[in-house]
Amino acid sequence: MLKFNFSGLQYECGTDEAGRGCIAGPVTAAAIILPDNFRNNLLNDSKQLSEKNREFLKPILENEAITFAVTHLEPKIIDEINILNASIKAMQESILKLKPTPLYIIVDGNRFKPVNNIPHSTIIKGDSKFMSIAAASVLAKTYRDEYMHKIHDEFPMYNWKKNKGYPTKEHREAIRQYGTTKYHRMTFRLLPEQLKLEI
């Protein structure tokens, strides 16, 4: 059963990201503040939900949230500052877009950097423990999937609408055959035999 609040403060926001382990596409983060009376029995860590249930929850979360925001950080930035820093930056940027400003931040995982001196706690597996982090995980995942569907139309040979930029066998085969795109993360191991790839 997901808990509602960690800090005991009003306007506590949860934040999470999606797409950290992908080799193409952005890392996407969401931050959300839910109202005190928010309850939803379906809500869970996005990885535990089917795509259908995530899509079902998305408009409910958007409509019932006090405030929410989503940020995509492009592969170019991921390559410049590394995926951990990019994940944190995407979460920070999402938090900075929230109105009202949160009084407390709860973050999925174990690494974070402060935002405007707002107190925060990192919670390992937070997306399966707290509603607002679970909600942020659903929004981050659904918005990122939407983004990958859009760029799929630009480069259909990589089948991003299905693999969402994760390093599946089919995705790697397409990189071997067609090379890379502006959406690929060049600092990631795109192929098992990276040295053979002519970039």
Is the pLDDT at 195 greater than 70? The verdict is no
pLDDT for 73 equals 98
Contacts of residue 102, Cβ cutoff 8 Å, sequence gap at least 6: 11, 12, 13, 31, 33, 95, 118
Q: What is the mean pLDDT of residues 143-172?
A: 97
Q: Could you tell me the domains of the chain?
A: 12-196 (3.30.420.10)
Q: What is the mean pLDDT of residues 129-142?
A: 97
pLDDT for 189 equals 87
pLDDT for 118 equals 97
pTM summary value = 0.94
CB 132 within 8 A of CB 14: yes
- Percentage, residues of the chain above pLDDT 90: 91
Q: What tens digit of pLDDT does each residue of 20-33 get?
A: 999 999 999 999 99
pLDDT for 192 equals 76
